[in-house]
Amino acid sequence: MMASCKHSKVDFETIIPSPGQELRLYIAVNQGLIYYLIKKQDIVVGWSNLYASDQAVDSALLWKHFSTDTKPGIQKKLPKQIQETIYGENPHNEAEIGFKTNSEDNFTFYLQFIVSDNGIAFRFKLPETAGNNALAYTEIVLHKDLAPWKMDMETSSNDEKPFVITAGLPVTFISGKSAKLNIFEVPAGNDTIIHDFNDTEDQKYFFTSEDFTMQDDFLYSSWRVLKIVE
């Protein structure tokens, strides 16, 4: 795992580059937790946690990798909003990575990734059995080397928790070194992104989603799209 990670020993790691090698997406399982990192010249998004769960079971379960399917150099029609925003007519690389728990229920889920020179998109693929209990969790750690980061939109605070702010998607972050990170969903949902200022080590944000659609006996979340402008 790259030096920016807190733990050097990992159970699984893979790198998905963009077709032009301008961007690299790192995926790792470290001590049972799933992380991703995005690098485009500089590290833009540091090691950030991803997971999905059936809320009827323990959400604190540990994960392990069990499958990887990659498709390099693909050029095909993507969801319209993704194509218009970060991919256009350019080729992209795809990957589907499977994870499972070592619990008795053996819950599994997949992460599907699209990687372009301009950014990434990913979504969660869960078994139909998760039903109305399906949950997807996405963390975004804005890397400190590009700090300070500013959220370029209106936010709201929680009176009961004054150090927590929320903002609806889409949202744009602007770094102190002029890089921009645009985050949105395809199709657009009602998710909000949350920043807990009690965590002072990194600028960490997260959002969860319970909105899934059924297709071919699987539940799919919206695409989370992270576009990088430098």
Q: Within a domain: residue 175?
A: yes
Q: Within a domain: residue 25?
A: yes
* pLDDT for the residue numbered 162: 47
* pLDDT for the residue numbered 4: 47
Domain of residue 48 covers: 12-229
Q: Within a domain: residue 74?
A: yes
Query: In this predicted model, what pLDDT tens digit does every residue of 24-35 receive, in sequence order?
Result: 999 999 989 999
Q: Within a domain: residue 2?
A: no
pLDDT at residue 84 tops 70: no
H, E, C per residue of the chain: CCCCCCCCCCCEEEEEECCCCCCEEEEEEECCEEEEEEEECEEEEEEEEEEEEECCCCCCCCEEEEEEEEEEEECCCCCHHHHHHHHCCCCEEEEEEEEEECCCCCCEEEEEEEEECCEEEEEEEEEHHHHHHEEEEEEEEECHHHCCCEECCCCEECCCCCCEEEEECCEEEECCCCCEEEEEEECCCCCEEEEECCCCCCEEEEEEECCCEEECCEEECCEEEEEEEC
Considering only 152-161, 173-182, 199-208, which range has the smallest mean pLDDT? 152-161
* pLDDT for the residue numbered 118: 87
Among 58-67, 125-134, 218-227, top mean pLDDT goes to: 218-227
Q: Within a domain: residue 159?
A: yes
Q: Within a domain: residue 1?
A: no
Q: Within a domain: residue 194?
A: yes
Average model confidence (pLDDT) for the chain? 81
Domains held by the chain: number: 1
* pLDDT for the residue numbered 22: 92
pLDDT at residue 213 tops 50: yes
pLDDT classification of 131: cutoffs 50, 70, 90: confident
Q: Within a domain: residue 104?
A: yes
Query: In this predicted model, what pLDDT tens digit does every residue of 3-15 receive, in sequence order?
Result: 545 555 788 999 9
**Which is more confidently placed, 179 or 87?**
179
pLDDT at residue 20 tops 60: yes
pLDDT at residue 159 tops 60: no
